[in-house]
Amino acid sequence: MLRCSRCGRTYPETFRLTCDCGGTLLVEGPGAGFTPFGHLDMRRYLAHLPIGSLVPVPVPGITPISEIEVGRVRAIFKLEYLHPSGSFKDRGTWVTVAKLLGEGIDEVVLDSSGNAALSFALYALPAGIKLHAFISYDARREKVLLLQKLGAIVHYVEGDRTVIHERAREYAEEKGLTYVTHWLNPYFIEGTKTIAFEVFEQFGVPDYAFAPTGSGTLLLGLWKGFRELKEMGEIAELPRLVAVQASGYESLCERSPFTNSLADGIAIPRPPRLDDMRRALRETNGMCVSVSRSETEGALSWLKRAGFLVEPTSAVALAGLWKLIETGEIPDGSSALLPLTGSGLKLTEGI
Amino acid sequence: MLRCSRCGRTYPETFRLTCDCGGTLLVEGPGAGFTPFGHLDMRRYLAHLPIGSLVPVPVPGITPISEIEVGRVRAIFKLEYLHPSGSFKDRGTWVTVAKLLGEGIDEVVLDSSGNAALSFALYALPAGIKLHAFISYDARREKVLLLQKLGAIVHYVEGDRTVIHERAREYAEEKGLTYVTHWLNPYFIEGTKTIAFEVFEQFGVPDYAFAPTGSGTLLLGLWKGFRELKEMGEIAELPRLVAVQASGYESLCERSPFTNSLADGIAIPRPPRLDDMRRALRETNGMCVSVSRSETEGALSWLKRAGFLVEPTSAVALAGLWKLIETGEIPDGSSALLPLTGSGLKLTEGI
């Protein structure tokens, strides 16, 4: 069942982005206990996912964690860049493509700065789903090339992320196609919530969970996953969520006068799920921190020396942790989850 | 305990490449039963690995499998490119670096066409081990750039893989440094054998196990892993091993007059573990097949459309399977493991 975050109205579990009132939707969690299967990949959590008999390939794996002391904080790095398309987005894409296959939808429209489109293209191709990807002229060349090699029809748009979002929606309406933006898609969050399930099995519940936050799909996935574990009686408390944003593109933190364009994956100044994100922070006694370009560069360099080849957007989580350790907001002895969201191997020049 | 494959002499488990007689070494498997731990990463198999208390980071994960019908054969693709450095080599590197850390070795020499060096550089950097990498002038530019970014000291050599191997060994001797070539290193095979453990847990025992085969580290890892499972009483029979080689660089198959230089990772005409490899094929009633450049290109294209972004060397396994289905050597209804060894994301121009 889908439920509107604004008016509470419910809908059956078909593919749908918003409530008729304009509010955002979430899938209602199953009430049963936590029952991971024996699979050593994402099928482990099929009992908790809105997926029928059609399971897309490749199946995303269980990503490993590496525990490293950062100052006096135990950082749990989760290597979310080790997915088939090189980013955590494969989790959300996998659940979404399963849903589309189940409904016989074979042509869709989306917009993305790169990673979400790349992930969707990778899963759409074997699934036989035709993809129209709306992207910015500024999108990284390597990502666009790969997108085209994966058979996506690329539509370039002049303008910021919000403009691209609008153009894609208009195109879908005009052509009668399904618009699948991960900014709104409730099934995408069903996929990203499995990060919380894995961390729970691999480590337990960290004191803090950081998320590079633009559209909020990772932040909301972590929130929903840990909340379901609590509802299922597995854990007593959720981790405190920390939304890490890029300077100049803040939607939750105060807007900075200068911009961190290095973290292009979260350069989303007006995300449509803002109310959901505020609720996630409020419910977990969470917080927001924004980081600059130079702070991101420093974190990226540290990550490379620690053996993590990630793209700049991934590095903001560590930059945010450093900042909150410095201000004393994250005390010594804490544990903090830092998902590393995207691979640097697409961008060998940039890392 | 290390045992010489040629004369049977044993050595204690310190870092060593060959027997005094010149023969190759393997670690003797532990006699105990198969006891995977609860970890959802490579630490799952610590009871079966020669690793002490120093565990390098990042810990490689359990790679997912995708089962797809290829003709009437059930292909089990194992996504070995989803490791921190983008190739299956991280398994062998991880065990090797653990051993080097345990012995306090902090400067080493190796030779590699790219992936093994890249993997080692990634793990050496956080471990504080200085790496001299001997590579060909022909090595792919993206891999060399990344190697340098990871702090490796790159030594270019004019000549084929065997010449580079010799230069690296000479340099190590001259400078009194440890030479860690994966072509001989018995601890590397301890790492790659965990692929067999995972496949056993994820699927069971396939009828055939394919391995792109140059130096033989993957073929021998599969052989040793499944053999240990048999010794531990977990399985009755080993899969039949299939060594897939590149035309013109065959060491096990008959040498072709034309060369498949696309599969650069296995372009190794005279591997030092040839006797071990012959034994692995003999013991498993295995076989060898060699594939051309155009067969590799066809397989690479098929893999991309199936959602696997891999480098050309990975594709030879599928090309080999096609060939053996066509000749009737692999019968309908069989199951075949195909490890996909290296990521295509380093080489976005080439896939």
Q: Min CA distance, A230 vs chain B (Å)?
A: 22
Q: For strand B10-11 and strand B2-4, is the pairing parallel, antiparallel, or unpaired?
A: antiparallel
In chain A, which residues have their Cβ closer than 8 Å to the Cβ of B123? 307
Q: Min CA distance, A106 vs chain B (Å)?
A: 16
* pLDDT value at residue B29: 72
Nearest CA in chain B to A120: B307
Contact criterion met (CB < 8 Å) for B59 and A66: yes
3-state helix, strand, coil in chain B (%, to 5): 35, 20, 45
- Res. A113 pLDDT band, cuts 50 70 90: low
Q: Min CA distance, B346 vs chain A (Å)?
A: 5
Residue A11, strand partner residues: A2
Contact criterion met (CB < 8 Å) for A142 and B60: no
Q: Average pLDDT for residues A53-75, to the nearest whole number?
A: 96
* pLDDT value at residue B351: 44
Q: Is A261 part of the contact surface with chain B (CB cutoff 8 Å)?
A: no
pLDDT in tens, A147-205: 898 999 999 999 887 899 899 999 999 999 999 999 999 999 999 999 999 999 999 99
Q: Min CA distance, A24 vs chain B (Å)?
A: 31
Q: Is B20 helix (H, G, I), strand (E, B) or coil?
A: coil
Q: Is B70 part of the contact surface with chain A (CB cutoff 8 Å)?
A: no
Residue A336, strand partner residues: A75, A208
Question: Mutation test of the interface with chain B: which of A63, A79, A130, choosing the one with the most B Cβ atoms within 10 A?
Answer: A79
* pLDDT value at residue A140: 78
For residue A171, which amino acid is it? Y
* A contact residues 109-128, partner B, Cβ 8 Å cutoff: 122-123, 125-126
In chain A, which residues have their Cβ closer than 8 Å to the Cβ of B350? none
Q: Domains in chain A and their CATH numbers?
A: 65-87+189-339 (3.40.50.1100), 89-186 (3.40.50.1100)
* Residue B186, token pair as written in the block: 């018995």
Its ipTM equals 0.94
Cβ contacts below 8 Å, chain A against chain B, sum to 135
In chain B, which residues have their Cβ closer than 8 Å to the Cβ of A123? 307
- Res. B145 pLDDT band, cuts 50 70 90: confident
Residues 6+ apart with CB under 8 A from B167: B111, B134, B155, B157, B159
Contact criterion met (CB < 8 Å) for B123 and A307: yes
Cα separation, A45 vs B310, whole angstroms: 27
> Is the CB of residue A24 less than 8 Å from the CB of residue A272?
yes
Cα separation, B298 vs A205, whole angstroms: 46
Q: Residue A349: is its pLDDT beyond 60?
A: no
Q: Where are the alpha helices (DSSP H) in chain A?
A: 89-103, 115-127, 141-149, 161-175, 186-192, 194-202, 217-231, 274-283, 293-305, 312-326
- Res. B114 pLDDT band, cuts 50 70 90: confident
Average pLDDT, chain A: 94
